[in-house]
Chain A
């Protein structure tokens, strides 16, 4: 069982302090934050000019241009705002699989991303789902909510059958705060992942999919005539695992992964697939930066 103190250690958190979340799209927040806002206003970064209109603040009139052109122009600045970060952690039974367990790995990953968001004054919330939102941590802003986030994530245990579509359908209607939706899952959804992600896109969330797989899901270690029992649904299938069967499994696996990649590319969804055997530090500090989630 992961505890808040063991989720992320202090040296690692200090290394996260230098990072910030990157959003592919500029969304509108509520409060001033450390992120460019689509609104041009009181920021410090120059964005554009426009003609003066009655009522504009004289302090933003560019007097140098006025002296040369004898016309009034207003300097526009990019306003830095906060973003909403929705951490979606798959808590179904299949996430309890692997060594290390995928769910522990996902909780630590969500904690790291959430910490970076809270550190940069973004609004961070978390959702643990299986066949629906099982536990929800509402969006909060500020570093003071870090411990609450960690406690929330440390309580996660695998349970239930995963259904991303049902989860999204219920979640998108209960919040109006769109933003970055980070889905951390093994994507073993019996009903498919496509509808859920489409639903998130339709409701203007910006999904970022982190696909966690364990090594034995990539390369099965089972051999011989066996009866495979799925931990989620307890359904079983008799399989003779020999060379041809393993080759067929490899083909099915590659096709499945390729299908996910094609879907995400087509729907402009960021996608990162990682095995739980990858050192966690490398994933966060290196691959998530390469993948564009952190900067």
Chain B
């Protein structure tokens, strides 16, 4: 039995209070009477019936305690899990995110959750659907016999990526098998906000975990610099030994001190090319985030800058590992040799297929319109998940005048009153548009600018060699129609190319992915998702609104059952109390008051 309003159970503290009041003898009020003769005789009579009276008084107390208990239980809005009750369909949503691999509940959170889910599936009266809430929520088993869901739960494994639990629940709530709203049972370690009709089953206990939450590669003049971010999600400071190796050769071993619930960063210069492996020598309950990889030594992308010359932009590009070639005119020939084209305040033109960073301008063939200019001020919202915006903080950026963009597709990455940074990928064109020219903002003066520029060129050039589990990785394929991808587990997979790109959808495992396109082979390092290192379990909030029909029927039955039972007990207690009252009048049967009686004469 579970409770929607478990806080109401504090009402049970009334019980000892009732017992205390019952045991306390009330201060008796003095009442004068003419004589005690009859009362003393009555007390002797009552004493003869004391056991029965004591039982009656105790029974009254017990019934009062029972009534209060039932009322408190009813207020707590209990769910009663009745095996086999009803035939309502059930959707089981199981979290397959990386944090479910934590072993604080042996053998793992996922194994425990799956076992509980199998029990729920076994108890379900109707059909059962199984949804895996991984990086890309998917229906594992559609509405079918519960035995199929149980079998799938046995085979299912957690991913190394983040869990999109909200999307999975939305998917579950959208189901209407036979027009009925199903019960949704969610098994996770980090429940979200309470949703009517959704029952959470939370697993996990531990909060201590140290993990790698970020790896980036900066190119120096003659070497690469690997920047590593280590997060301590626990409540105590930790000293973490770290080993960095390039192609199996130890580059650095050091100890990093990470304060409680914070992130520490360090950089490691690496000379040469190959795969860098970063490993934390730490004993915690989640091992998947203790190892990360980076690929260094790859050739930098070729970039053409056209439009209004901007010294700040050129200086920023010089700090990024790219090969920059200025172009006076944008011609198809010039674009053919570039991986990315940067257009700075050029007049809008039709863009041929390619990758573009548009600064203070747009293109006529992109699904975005320009309807004048606007005064911006501050950036109000920006994405933190898109690869272009990763590690970019726009909180202190001030923008003067910007183009008023009206996107008809794509993704807005930052916005004030109007979209400020917009990304698009389609029809052979991949573009990032900033609505403001650099001279109209202080963004070039911020730390986030080179990061933004680097992210944008990596995303546009499709040359990112680093990704997080759950990300979609895009690789230029040229004129070739397919690519072969070999995952960390050694499994080979053929992927078709589209629009000159090969897309690896939502990579679920961390490690190195080898992508072979024609005779060219490149390696992509997929590292743990940052949000999965915080493993502290979360319980759902309290449901205030009416519960969903599928489950609410049972819920209503539960609290109503307790309430009706409480009413019955109260009535029984009242009837028993009535029995203690005189049956005829307040003093019982009255005697004849006048006895005219003469014994003789």
Q: Please report A residues at the B interface, Cβ cutoff 8 Å.
A: 22, 24, 94, 97-98, 186, 188, 190, 211, 213-214, 217-232, 235-239, 242-257, 261, 264-265, 268-275, 277-278, 283, 287, 290-292
Contact = CB atoms under 8 A, between A and B. Distances in A.
28 contacts: A24-B601, A97-B33, A213-B593, A218-B590, A219-B590, A225-B26, A227-B28, A228-B31, A228-B39, A230-B32, A230-B35, A235-B36, A239-B42, A239-B43, A248-B43, A249-B38, A249-B588, A251-B588, A252-B39, A252-B42, A256-B41, A264-B597, A269-B599, A270-B598, A270-B600, A272-B596, A278-B594, A283-B594
Given A214-B34, A252-B45, 13 more contacts: A94-B34, A97-B33, A186-B35, A190-B37, A211-B595, A218-B587, A229-B33, A243-B583, A245-B42, A249-B42, A272-B595, A273-B593, A277-B593
Q: Tell me what chain A mostly uses at the interface: helix, strand, loop, or mixed.
A: mixed
Interface in B476-523: none
Of B32, B34, B588, B596, the most chain A CB neighbours within 10 A belong to: B34
A78 B133 CA distance: 125
Interface residues of B, number: 43
Given A217-B34, A252-B45, A291-B598, A275 B26 contact: no
Interface in B143-176: none
A229 B587 CA distance: 19
Nearest to B46: A248
A272 B597 CA distance: 6
Q: Tell me what chain B mostly uses at the interface: helix, strand, loop, or mixed.
A: loop
Contacts of A239: 39, 42-43
B594 A273 contact: yes
Interface stretch (B300-308, B342-350, B574-582): B574-582
B586 interface: yes
B31 A222 contact: yes
A248 B581 CA distance: 12
Of A220, A254, A272, the most chain B CB neighbours within 10 A belong to: A220
A246 B596 contact: no
Contact of A245 (B29, B30, B32, B46): B46
A243 B45 contact: no
Contacts of B596: 272, 287, 290-291
Interface of B: 25-26, 28-43, 45-46, 49, 53, 579-583, 585-591, 593-601
Nearest to B52: A244
B33 A228 contact: yes
A238 B49 CA distance: 17
A104 to B, nearest CB: 14
B588 A247 contact: yes
B586 A252 contact: no
Nearest to A186: B34
Those 4 A-B pairs whose CB atoms lie nearest each other, nearest first: A250-B588, A219-B587, A252-B41, A97-B34
B586 A221 contact: yes
A22 B598 CA distance: 12
Contacts of A272: 594-597
B29 A219 contact: no
A275 B590 CA distance: 12
Given A251-B45, A252-B38, A252-B41, A22 B588 contact: no
B579 A243 contact: yes
A247 B601 contact: no
B587 A287 contact: no
Given A261-B597, A292-B598, A292-B601, A218 B45 contact: no
Contacts of A274: 593-595
B576 to A, nearest CB: 11
A275 B28 CA distance: 29
A244 B47 CA distance: 11
A220 B601 CA distance: 36
Contact of B30 (A227, A244, A251, A278): A227
Contacts of A278: 593-594
Given A228-B39, A244-B53, A275 B46 contact: no
Contact of B38 (A24, A211, A253): A253
Contacts of B580: 242-244
Nearest to B28: A227
Contact of A230 (B33, B46, B591, B600): B33
A72 B40 CA distance: 70
Contacts of A246: 582, 586-588
Contacts of B586: 219-221, 223, 246
B122 to A, nearest CB: 55
Nearest to B40: A237
A261 B599 CA distance: 10
